Amino acid sequence: MSHGRNEMMQSERDWAPSVEIPYAPRHGAKPPVSPPQGDQGQAHFTEMHSHFVYGLDDGAQTYPEMCGLIDQAWQMGVRTLYATPHCVPGIKFFDRDLLEKHLQEARLYCREKGYDMELLPGAEMLWTPQMSYALNQEHLPCLGYTRFALVEFSPSIEKNDLFMAIELMIEAGYRPVIAHFERYACLLKPGTAERLKRKYAVKLQMNAETLTLPSPLMMRLCIKGWLKKGLVDCISSDAHHVQDRPFAIGKAYEVLTQCCGQNYADFAAKGGIFQED
């Protein structure tokens, strides 16, 4: 965990949100007014989870669609963008050459448009029993040129299986980053996410829309608890399409700033996890 963030969270121990996490309105009740949108032109966000590279998964399907997502990210203030197409190590071939080819097309598009945005390769790896074999047999597609590996699980994974998977990844020399960790039922149980982080050098990524879209009361309470304890290491959009599952880090940054202060928002939305080693 970042020492800077430790100090920062210590000073914010008496965290009291000035803005509520959006909630699912019941009986016609209206959700809280959205926080004001600031000038995000200088925001310089880091998006470490997105599916903007076309032709690899259920994200962008065509070159124009990829360009639309890049435009959206740039206009929102993203300046470092990781491509993380879905990947199932040990089971399904992952076409790194195609990723690099289409990523290069994306870089050329940025150059044509004058976007000073760094585009980096990665993958969102689905944990399966076969992945533990793949860990030691091949180099997994990590985030950029780091050992951080974005990993997702079945939503119904049991706590012990998830803990074991994280342990195996760390033993194999990787730094696991759990994608949209709020999706896993076992981590919603009180104290489980905290125990996981106390036990392992693991990072937790939350989807931006978890902060910006309405959610049930139970989820809102979980989110508040995680943020209060500084357990969320990274906010990313997990963007797939411009309209359906778009980039949303700009609004999430605003919510996070008002809930937890600018230091924490900067850490979580600007690639803090990559800077601590």
Residue 152 vs 254, nearer CB to Fe ion? 152
Please state the closest distance from residue 16 (CB atom) to Fe ion, in A: 32
- In angstroms, the CA 52 to CA 239 distance is 7
Nearer to Fe ion, 49 or 79 (CB): 49
Q: Report if residue 238 touches Fe ion, rule: CB under 5 A.
A: yes
Nearest distance, CB of residue 49 and Fe ion, angstroms: 6
The contacts found for 240-243 with CB under 8 angstroms, 24 or more apart, are 240/51, 240/58, 240/59, 240/60, 241/59, 241/60, 241/65, 241/69, 242/65, 242/68, 242/69, 242/72
Q: Which residue is nearest to Fe ion (CB)?
A: 238
Is there binding between residue 47 and Fe ion (CB under 5 A)? no
The residue (of 183 and 229) whose beta carbon lies closer to Fe ion is: 183
107 vs 271: CA distance, rounded Å = 20
209 lines the binding site for Fe ion (CB under 5 A): no
Q: Identify residues 104-133 at the interface with Fe ion (CB under 5 A).
A: 124
For residue 207, what is the enclosing H or E element?
strand 203-207
In angstroms, give the least distance from the CB of 10 to Fe ion: 32
Nearest-approach distance from CB 98 to Fe ion, in angstroms? 18
Ramachandran assignment for 161, one of left (phi > 0), alpha (psi -120 to 50 degrees), beta (any other): alpha
Toward Fe ion, which CB reaches closer, 152 or 266? 152
Token pair belonging to 91: 């089971």
Instruction: Kindly list the residues in this chain that would bind Fe ion in the complex (CB under 5 A).
Output: 124, 238
